[in-house]
Structures are given as C-alpha cells and as structure tokens.
Amino acid sequence: MSEIWNGPFRRIDNWRWMIPREYKKGMLTDGLIYASEKMIADIRKDQAPEQVANVACLPGIVGCSLAMPDIHWGYGFPIGGVAATTGEEGVISPGGVGFDINCGVRVIKTNLMIEEVATQKERLLAILFQNIPSGVGSEGKIRFSIPDLKKVMKQGARAVLEKGFGWGEDSTFIEENGAMEGVDSGAVSDKAIERGKDQLGTLGSGNHFLEVEVVERIFHPVAARAFGLFPGQVIVMMHTGSRGFGHQICTDHLHVMQNATKRYGITIPDRQLACVPFCSSEGEHYFTAMAAAANYAWANRQLITHWIRESFEKIFQKSAHNLGMHILYDVAHNIAKVEKYTVKGKIVQLCVHRKGATRSLGPNRSEVPETYRHVGQPVLIPGDMGTGSYILVGTAQAEQESFGSTCHGAGRVMSRSEADRKSRGRNIVQEMREKGILVMAESTATLREEISEAYKDVGEVIEVVENAGLAQRVAYAKPMAVMKG
C-alpha cells in the first residue's frame, strides 16, 4: 500500500486536517486527521487517509472519523484511527480494534535514581532478559490449565493477582481495573484457547518491548507530583498485548462478520471493515470475546510486572516495596469500549473503537483512579528505542472532541521489510551502545525492523496532540536499557 494518496485535505488549523464527506460516496461524516503541515506529506505516502474516509462510511458513526498524528496504514481502520458508533444502526468492527487486542503500555515506577542504576544496567538487563520470556512463539514460565485460562478471560489481572503475582493495589492503576466485565468464554474458540494457554507472561516480538528509562524532564509539575514522577528517577515501561490468543479471536470473528455484513444489509467500501450491529448476536459475541482477549493482555502484563519486580530485587538487594515499584498506570491501545460522552448536549453511550490510540480522559472522570482524578488520566506514549517516551495527562477537550482519545506512539514511516532492508549490515546493538543505550533481543532481525528511522519523531507527534488539546505533556523519559523480542 505504498502509492501516494491524492485525495483532498482541508486545513482547519495548524493541527487539524479534514477529509470532507463529499470526497467519497457513502461517507456519513467527515474525516479528521490530527497532524502538522510537515507530517501531511508523509501521511500521503500510503493509503491510511483513504481508510479514514472508509471508516466514515460505517453505519451509526458519531462525530468524525478520527486519526491521530501517528497514523499509518492498517487492517481496515488505519493504525491511529478512532471511531464512535451509537444507536440501533451503530456497528462494531474488528478492524477498528486490530489483531493484537489490548496491545498496551504499562509503566512501573521506582524510587531509584539514575546514578544507582547506571552501574548495574548491564546486569539488570541480563536478568530481565533471563526472567521474561520473549520472541516469536515464546512460551510462559507457568502453565495454565484451561479452567485457569477461562478464569483469566473473565477476571483479567485479578486472576493472577489471586495467585500472588502482584500487589493488591495493582488493579487500581490498570484501565478497567484490569478486567472488562461480562465475558462469556463460550464466544472464544478452542483454537484461540490452545494458542493462548502457553503464552501468558510473555513479551512477544516485533514492536513489543521492555525499557528501563530515566525521567529527564518534567513539563507539568502538578500532574508529575500526582503521578509520583521526578527528574533522575528510573522507571520501567513495557509494551505487549494478548499474543496469539487475541490474534486468533480477531481472525475467528472477522470470518463470521465477513459473512454477516451483507446479511444485515450493510454496505462497506472495504471488506476489511467487516462489521455488524453492536446489538446483534454476532456483535455481542465479538465484543465479549474481544473483552476476554483484553483481560488476557492485562493478566499478561501483570505476570511480567511480577518478574520485573523480582529482577530488581535480585540486583538491588531490596524488596520491590522498598524500591517503590508501584504501577503508575496501564493503558490499552487496541480496544473497543462502551463509554459515555456528551454529544449535541446529551450524554450518550457509545462504542468507541481505538485502533492504535490511547484513552485520554480529563479531570473528574470516575474511570480515572482516585489518586489522579484531580489532574486526569495518565497517558503513556512510547517512542522508538533510540529516543524516548512521554507520559502525558488526559484533558476535558479530548473528551469533547476525540471521545477521550489521543495518539499511542510515534507511528511507523517504514514497513518492517523496508527497515530490515535499509539496515542490513549495520550493528544496531553497537549503534545504540554509542548512544548510551543497552539493547538485548531474541533476534537481530527485530532490531533491524525497529530502527529509529522506521518511526516518526515522537516529539513531533506529541507536539500535535498537545497543541490540539488532546493531552498535556507531564514528563519525558529516555531509555537506558531495552529488551526486545
């Protein structure tokens, strides 16, 4: 999908670009892309804007078909796409969630300073690499029976917390408290269960990672105090999802929906947007299976959190409690959620699809942990392994304009194959070491695919969402040690 997109962009302001609904037959609303003028040329390099226009054709769509500045081409929806639907005609589409259901990010704080960790980072990275399974097809250290797995589907992170993998407070600082409710495990196929039962507690491969980072800069002192962040502090960021379990659930339900879409009289411009009414039996089955995969992902990140804490304890000879290893927050990137927003002066219940986008709720929302409620929800945005990551806070404007959504990362500008081809012959580990960043990976191919040049500048992405009012910067953290699958 590398051909240039030549459709119309109407500039609204410095940070918003519209694809008018007149562009394409079947569009029920406008497309709206958040981007700087500098980014628009890159955004035109693939067909992601066409996907924004296609999403605008979904029955029951409310507001605009949205895309964040980290937009790039995906399956059905663009990655970085957001769409909300409502009413009897409102649909749910697996393409609006993606294959890696609840791929997300968690940040764990410490009270360690950079000086204490810098001399130990090689040992620390080695033990993290040893303790946390990673790579393609990796298997977890613990075997879960099918009854155990069904409990994970329903209870998410709480199912593994009950087994001692974490602290009682942990679920408070996870989106949805670590579990979406109302899961029916009968909507999950035997094949998905078979793929998922041995992968809990694994990082995976590709763009999934674990980073030891140092907080270099604070932008919002009030929110930083609420979040427990300060300059020189060492934190840990992880990025992973529901592994083969979520992938199989998406595959299974796409097949069902591709057959059902026409039966419901729904016309779509791209078969990858296969969808059904949210309230249909097929829609309800997909939603509950998707929730099971989301809960699996939260349990997965919870197990990894436990092993991160154990690794720090071994290196620094203190308990994780004494090291201050509390969860800052955990956010989902690929998910559909039922949430309430004000639309045309009325509070309505919507199905919000976020495909490579992060929830960004402002102050005083009940969904935000009480500790943070006066400032808003933490928003965790990783960059590439050679630059750094941002922690932001959600805003009331995001709730009004983007259904409480913002970007999820830097966004690719090269395919994995292109990045691999352009980095052949390079020693990526040495290049990173020269930047002061240690890297370990199961595969050197992964490192080539994940070179910094394969991504947009995360700082430019953050500049857009902040100036558009979708989130505010709180802190910037730079990687010290990176673990890749």
Burial of 206 (0-12, 13-18, 19+ CB in 10 A): middle
Q: What is the dihedral of CA 208, 212, 217, 218, to 10 degrees?
A: 80
- Are 95 and 78 in contact by the 8 Å Cβ rule? The answer is no
Pairing of strands 472-484, 438-441: parallel
Q: What is the secondary structure of 402-431 as a DSSP string?
A: SSSEE--S--BSS-HHHHHHHTTT--HHHH
Q: What is the dihedral of CA 251, 253, 257, 259, to 10 degrees?
A: 70
Catalytic site residue 408? Answer: yes
Which tokens is 257 given?
A: 């929906």
Which tokens is 482 given?
A: 């990176």
Q: How far apart are CA 89 and CA 87, in angstroms?
A: 5
- Are 460 and 38 in contact by the 8 Å Cβ rule? The answer is yes
Q: What is the secondary structure of 252-296 as a DSSP string?
A: HHHHHHHHHTGGGT---S-GGG--EETTSHHHHHHHHHHHHHHHH
Q: 102: closest CA among 29, 228, 204?
A: 204
Strand partners, 153: none
Q: Which of 247, 306, 326, 408 is catalytic?
A: 408
Residue found by looking up tokens 């505010």 in the block: 472
The CA-atom distances, in angstroms, between 197 and each of 150, 239, 343, 443 are 10, 20, 41, 24
Task: Order across the sheet with 334-343: list the strands.
Answer: 10-13, 16-19, 31-34, 61-72, 79-85, 346-355, 334-343
- The catalytic site residues sit at 408
